[in-house]
Amino acid sequence: MQIQSTFRGQTKECKKALRLKSIGINTITCCGSGIISVLASSKGAHVTASDINQTALDSLKEVCAKQDLEINTIYSDLLDKIDPNRFDYIFINPPYYPKKPSNLTEKAWFCGENFEFFEKMFLQLKGLNLENTKVLMILSDACELVKIGEIANQNELGLNEVYKVELTFETNFIYELVTS
């Protein structure tokens, strides 16, 4: 139950942050529910959504057909099949609970016992020209922010808080990745 309310709260805050003028920009999102992808596309962004869950990608395609939106979907584990340098923005709503996922559905919530999701993601983003590509990631105070920041620092990246909202049971943050 807490996981669902956290997800809903974060998505709502990410939608607020997306009020930026996105017409014509190239954006990549980690697909998940597809809400961020749909919102960015509806604002005129050229969106690519990636996920390791084919069902999530198929659901997004159905939504796009109903809403007459054009979103490119790519089946990929993080950036394995994607060149992040092609994008103006990368939006990430990551799994951040430290537990080993036992199935594909749990990968949406659990980042691995040793934060393997973040280890891989920050390694893939290391060296990205952050002047050309803005990376925004939403996190909650329910996760281990210090540990995630340490992993970013190990990859010569930092987390710069750009948005914060306090909700009833948690505080959500949007961080921009910066070169440390």
**Mean pLDDT for all residues in the chain:** 84
6 assigned to some structural domain: no
> CA-to-CA distance for 43 and 110, rounded, in angstroms?
30
117 assigned to some structural domain: yes
118 assigned to some structural domain: yes
Q: What is the pLDDT of residues 54-71, one digit of tens each?
A: 998 999 999 999 999 999
The pLDDT value recorded for residue 177 is 94
The pLDDT value recorded for residue 143 is 94
Average confidence (pLDDT) over 80-101 = 90
> CA-to-CA distance for 52 and 42, rounded, in angstroms?
23
111 assigned to some structural domain: yes
80 assigned to some structural domain: yes
Q: Which of 12-16, 58-62, 73-77 has the lowest mean pLDDT?
A: 12-16
87 assigned to some structural domain: yes
Q: What stretch of H or E contains 145?
A: helix 145-154
Residue span of the structural domain in which 81 resides: 43-136
> CA-to-CA distance for 99 and 96, rounded, in angstroms?
9
Two structure tokens written together for 72: 């490119």
Count of structural domains, the chain: 1
Q: Which pTM does this prediction carry?
A: 0.83
